[in-house]
Amino acid sequence: MNILENEEIEIQNEYIKKLKEIINGQKYYILTMGCTLNENDSEKISGMLEEIGYQKVEEMQEANLIVFNTCCIRENAEDKMYGKLGEAKKVKEKNNAIIALCGCMMQQKHIIEKLNKSYPFVDIIFGTHTLHKLPEDLYKLIITKNKVRDVIDIDGEIYEGIPIKRTSNKKALVTIMYGCNNFCTYCIVPYVRGRERSRKAEDILNEIEGLAKEGYKEITLLGQNVNSYKGSGYKEIYNFADLLRAVNEIDGIEIINFISPHPKDFTDDVIDVIKDCKKISRILHLPLQSGSSKILKLMNRKYTKEQFINLAKKIKQKVPDVVFSTDIIVGFPGETEEDFEDTLDVIRTVNFEQVFMFIYSKRVGTPAAKMENQIDEKIKHERFERLKELVEKQLEENNKKYIGTTQDILVEGVSKNNKNTLTGRTKTNKIVVLDADNSYIGKIVKVKIVSEHMWYLKGEMV
Ligand code: SAH
Ligand code: SF4
Ligand code: F3S
């Protein structure tokens, strides 16, 4: 962190002190939409609020402060926010709660205009580059009673030292880089998160070492394009492969995940590290988006169908126990039946363990939104259903392969549906349900898989 950013955090700490005297035992509710980066941001928002003296509640109706951390990756994410805002308005009418909106959606001018015009009851709006200023925004609102609008359109700085309240005490999210430079033509992220910037390796390692000391066992390194991470030479860390090796050295951390890598940047040195470092998860996310080279070019993904298949083959050859997950968009402008068949073909060839499927959604300001040949909604939905059918068939077949195998499982907690059983995950991120007493929570245990149930496997301790 540079001197200026350091000062900025000092200033916020002063606001936290002032607010502590005003906020006493008040309650906050936070709703996080979108991806793990937003989840990690929400942990920082919670950290600041709890430092001020707010207590977290799970019911919006009980809150004096309501925070929505928003996402705009697809239209349905935005629709969700408006729906929830209606609910928040009722709570405000009842107990005069403060409403604060933040996150990616707030970085879009047309959204701010709409909110100011049609939702004037929103008290605070802050963006992705001003998250650390929540204490100041809150203080200004409380003292002046004037609405606060704190959104800036810059590439963003990196602020270290923001308090953090994590949602789990075993698994931790650690952002290693912010922003994105790839400008995939369908995607809003580069416009709302700014340009790529990497955290200092020293700060990342200090954070993870601290987590290990607190008893965290699993960490997930986060960024929109983690494999374009750039280090400045601290402990010889210059790139993502170097960073992974350094994280693997940290005692106490037993599982390392990272999301998302970009296939175009999946260099051999990263594959070698995955091979060498057994702590690294054996499920790799390789976002394909489309299997058609023509569509991939229109998407600006910078790889072809063949290059993607070859990359998956190369990784599998070097690290045979690895499996893959992916993201697919159906119905990108210009996608023909033949292009869609190409996607199905790659799905069959690579045999992904998990497929996150999305229907293309037009995003204001992105190049794809202006493309001709937008696909009819009906065709998009039909293709989505066909894709889903194939994916579910493969899922069942892949699940069967686990039956009879012995897996190392990190036990996460009590099952939601049956309080007498525990759940955990394999190194390939499969949910496993097992009968065992609570003393195993947080431990890694050997489990034999006995049956498969589509979304989970059942296992017995050995
Ligand atoms: N940086 C990550 C993705 C972040 S967004 C990566 O490159 O993998 C998560 C996923 O949302 C993307 O992988 C893509 O599949 C999907 N997505 C992004 N923009 C979309 C849009 N306009 N419509 C539908 N899905 C979209
Ligand atoms: Fe979006 Fe592409 Fe960047 Fe991922 S890599 S965040 S899909 S622009
Ligand atoms: Fe959504 Fe922003 Fe993540 S748009 S997917 S919350 S980076």
The whole-model pTM stands at 0.94
227 ligand 2 Cβ < 6 A:
no
Residues 6+ apart with CB under 8 A from 340: 292, 330, 383, 386
Query: CB–CB of 36/222 below 8 Å?
Result: yes
The residue whose C-alpha atom lies closest to atom 7 belonging to ligand 3 is 189
Query: CB–CB of 316/203 below 8 Å?
Result: no
pLDDT of residue 3: 63
Q: Separation of 8 CA from ligand 1 center, angstroms?
A: 32
pLDDT of residue 442: 85
For ligand 1, residues with CB inside 6 Å are 73-74, 186-187, 189, 224-225, 260, 262, 287, 289, 327, 329, 358, 360-361, 363
pLDDT of residue 419: 85
Which ligand is nearest the CA of 33, by number? 3
72 ligand 3 Cβ < 6 A:
yes
189 ligand 2 Cβ < 6 A:
yes
Mutate-to-test residue for ligand 1 from 358, 362, 363, 380, highest number of ligand atoms within 8 A of CB: 358
189 ligand 3 Cβ < 6 A:
yes
Backbone phi and psi for residue 316, each to the nearest 5 degrees, phi listed first: -65, -35
41 Rama class: left (phi>0) / alpha (psi -120 to 50) / beta:
alpha
187 ligand 2 Cβ < 6 A:
yes
Separation CA 71–CA 447 (nearest Å)? 38
Separation CA 27–CA 62 (nearest Å)? 7
Q: Separation of 342 CA from ligand 3 center, angstroms?
A: 27
The residue whose C-alpha atom lies closest to atom 2 belonging to ligand 2 is 184
Mutate-to-test residue for ligand 1 from 176, 284, 327, 374, highest number of ligand atoms within 8 A of CB: 327
Which atom of ligand 1 is the closest one to the Cα of 359?
24
Per run of 10 residues, the mean pLDDT along the chain (length 462 residues) is 77 96 93 97 98 97 97 97 96 95 97 96 97 97 95 87 94 96 97 96 98 96 96 96 98 96 96 96 97 98 98 97 97 98 98 96 98 97 98 94 93 87 92 91 92 92 90
* DSSP symbol at 280: B
Which atom of ligand 1 is the closest one to the Cα of 182?
7
Q: Which helix (H) or strand (E) holds 350?
A: helix 337-350
pLDDT of residue 6: 79
The residue whose C-alpha atom lies closest to atom 1 belonging to ligand 2 is 187
Q: Separation of 185 CA from ligand 2 center, angstroms?
A: 9
Domains of the chain, start order: 3-150 (3.40.50.12160), 168-280 (3.30.750.210), 282-400 (3.30.750.200), 406-461 (2.40.50.140)
Separation CA 211–CA 166 (nearest Å)? 11
Query: CB–CB of 421/438 below 8 Å?
Result: no
Q: Separation of 131 CA from ligand 2 center, angstroms?
A: 21
Determine if the peptide bond prior to 325 is cis (ω within 30°): no
66 ligand 3 Cβ < 6 A:
no
The residue whose C-alpha atom lies closest to atom 1 belonging to ligand 3 is 71
Query: CB–CB of 240/226 below 8 Å?
Result: yes
81 ligand 3 Cβ < 6 A:
no
DSSP string, 120-137: TT--EEE-TTSGGGHHHH
Which atom of ligand 2 is the closest one to the Cα of 289?
7
Separation CA 225–CA 261 (nearest Å)? 5
190 ligand 2 Cβ < 6 A:
yes
End-to-end CA distance of the chain: 48
Q: Separation of 343 CA from ligand 1 center, angstroms?
A: 16
Q: Separation of 25 CA from ligand 1 center, angstroms?
A: 39
Strand partners, 374: none
Q: Separation of 67 CA from ligand 2 center, angstroms?
A: 26
Query: CB–CB of 352/394 below 8 Å?
Result: yes
